[in-house]
Structures are given as C-alpha cells and as structure tokens.
Amino acid sequence: MPTRASLLLPIVMVVLAACGGDHPMSTLDAHSDLTREINHIYGRIFWWTGLLFLLVQGGLIYTVLRFRAKGNETTNPEQVHGNLKLELTWTILPIFILLHIAIPTVSVIFKSQAPATEEGKVTINALGEQWWFAFEYPELGVVTANEMHVPLGKEVEIRLQSDNVIHSFWVPQLAAKRDMVPGRVNQIKFKAEKLGEFYGQCAEYCGDSHALMKLRVVVDTPEDFAKWVEAQKAPAESESATAQAGFQAFQGAGCVACHAINGTTAAAVIGPDLTHVGSRTTIASGILENTEENLKTWIKDPPGVKPGSKMPNLNLSDEQVASIAAYLQTLK
Ligand SMILES: [Cu+2]
C-alpha cells in the first residue's frame, strides 16, 4: 500500500521540475528596460496582495478560533449592525493600494507605446502572418522574417500589424506582449540590455499552426548590428552556377509566385522574403533548424511540418528539391 506521502511525490516532482534548467520564455528574467519595469509592477502586486491575503486570512482564522462555540454554549453572539470606522478603513485602504498599483501600471503602458526618439533608434514594422512574422526596417531598407536583429542599448520601436487575423507579439524577456490587430497599428518600445538570442511566440490563437509560430530576437552589439544590416541590404548572390541552376529550379517550381529574392525577378510577398534565408538560424518561424536536410523536408511537404501551412505541397521531385535547397543555403 502506498502511503499518503508517497502519493504526493509525483505532484512535488512536477512542481519542482519547473525550478530547473534555463527558461528562455520566463517573464521573470527581464533583459530590457521595459520588462524590468513590468517586473517591478509584478513585485508591487505580489507584495500588496500578499499582505492583504495575510490580513484577511489571519482575521478569518482568528475569528474562527476565538469565537467558535465552546462546550455546550447556547447563547447567540451579540448582533451588531454596521461599524463606521471599520467600513471606512476597508474602503479607503483598498483604494490606496489599487492606486499604488494602477498608477505605475498605466504609466508603463503609455511609456511602452510612445514613439522612439533617441539617437540611434531602430524602427521595425512587424506583420503577423499565418503562421510567421514578417519584419521590415523601413529606415534601413531591410526585409526579413521570423528572426529580428536589434542593437544592444538602443531604442527599438516595433509597429505591430496584421492583415489577416489577430496575432500577439510576445518576446517575454525583451518586448513583453502586445496584440497585432488587423486595421490598427500597436506600438511597443524597449531597449535590450543583454546580448544574445531571445525567444518569442505568437500568443493569440490564430489558426491551425498557431503553436508553431515562433520568433527570435537577436541582440547584437551596435557594430555587429550595422554589419548585419549591410549584409541584409545586399542583393542575393546570383553569379555562381549553383545560384543560376538553383534559381531556374526555383522559378520552374513556381516558388516565385509567393517569394521575393532581391536581385532576381522573384518579387512576390505572400511568403517570407528569401533574399538572405541562408543567414537565418531557423526556418518556418523557428520550427526547424536551418539545415539543408530540413530545407528539403520543408520544401517537399510544408503542411506535413506545419498543419494548414499556406505554402502548399508542390509535389516536386527529389532532384528539384535538392537543387533548390542547395541554392537557398547559399543565400547568406
Ligand atoms: Cu497565433
């Protein structure tokens, strides 16, 4: 017979499992000015509500113990009707506590959606698609998808949009969470405080592959960021034999109907811009590592990787797939 304590073990293990390893999606690891301020507000809410919890539960436990029926007492307690002092206290105290929470909350909301104004700021238009993110840097002439680069310590202003359904742009450690709503532009502004790669995810159910709609934000030093911008602005390499044969196969297979490759005749904007697809670490919005094998898997059967994918299975031969994948790999 298992003891009661041993039955608790699996529950304790599940709960403790949340304490190990690193948590790329943990809101509590703040790495930007915005997420730090949000954590501050969490802290306020936690301590105020914690205090209230103790007061209310303490009062309840005290009352239950102090005034419970003892022995075979039969008299009823004295009935009172209203107590002005107590009622004033528990009306005014919560107002004070709520203001203490509401004022910083509203001020951080406003601050987080103000336009960026500082020297060296970066503006990015982010478009939620089914099921990927398009990123455009209008002032820098860069277009990319699913992996956004930003410079360390500079203001980043992201304009969030959608032309289909509602998505939500969520990068917990840098940019918090804000919806991408058709017909309006929501803004979010932050300054990254740590170099590295940060994970994000669409956080508003948007259809079949919503759970497979991830993104990454790479925080670079300002120098590395400038190098990245230069590389992204350059047209795709098109001179080599691989590139020419690959582009022919790409065109022949009909990929040009949906994708753009800057420097070639492909200019459609239904799918992600592929000009520098080889420079991304993942494909299909963070679902697959960007390797030649995975590119082949994706091109052969996109809906097999992402249910409902808007990129159809084009029933290509292995030769076509191999030639196109080799070409896309060269687009660094
Ligand atoms: Cu979604």
Q: How much distance in Å is there from the Cα of 300 to the middle of ligand 1?
A: 24
Give dist(CA 152, CA 193) in Å, integer: 6
Distance in Å, CA 98 to ligand 1 centroid: 32
What domains does the chain contain, in order, with CATH numbers?
A: 27-50+86-220 (2.60.40.420), 241-330 (2.60.40.420)
Determine the pLDDT at residue 20: 67
Ligand 1 centroid distance, CA of 39 (Å): 24
**Could you read off the pLDDT of 216-237 as tens digits, one per residue?**
999 999 999 999 999 999 998 7
Mean of the pLDDT values across residues 47-71?
Answer: 91
Distances 315 to 18, 266, 283, 287, 298 between C-alpha atoms, Å: 43, 21, 20, 21, 12
Residue 122 host element (H or E): strand 122-129
Q: Average pLDDT, stretch 267-296?
A: 96
Q: How far is the CA of 126 from the centre of ligand 1 (A)?
A: 14
> How far does the centroid of ligand 1 lie from the alpha carbon of residue 22, in Å?
24
* Residues around the ion ligand 1 (C-beta < 5 A): 167, 202, 206, 210, 213
pLDDT of res. 238 = 77
pLDDT above 70 (res 7): yes
Structure tokens at 331: 């687009």
Q: What is the pLDDT of residues 149-208, one digit of tens each?
A: 999 999 999 999 999 999 999 999 999 999 999 999 999 999 999 999 999 999 999 999
pLDDT tens-digit map of 26-53: 989 999 999 999 999 999 999 999 998 9
Outline where DSSP puts E strands in 25-103. none
More confident: 23 or 39 = 39
128 C-alpha to center of ligand 1: Å? 8
pLDDT for res 70: 79
Q: In what order do the strands lie in the sheet with 167-171?
A: 147-151, 214-220, 196-202, 167-171, 176-180
What's the rounded Cα separation, in Å, for the pair 45 and 48?
Answer: 5
Residue 1 is predicted with a pLDDT of 58
The position carrying tokens 């209310």 is 56
Buried b (16+ CB within 10 A) or exposed e, 139-158: ebebbbbbbbbbbbbbbbbb
CA 147 – CA 135 distance, rounded (Å): 8
Q: Are 162 and 181 in contact (CB under 8 A)?
A: yes
Cα–ligand 1 centroid distance for 179 (angstroms): 10
Q: Give Cα 260 to chain centroid, integer Å.
A: 25
Q: Nearest to residue 102, comparing CAs of 52, 46, 41, 27? A: 41
- Three-state DSSP at 175 gives coil
CA–centroid distance, 30 to ligand 1, in Å, is 23
Q: Which residue has the higher pLDDT, 5 or 36?
A: 36
> What average pLDDT does the segment 46-61 reach?
94
Structure tokens at 157: 């202003």
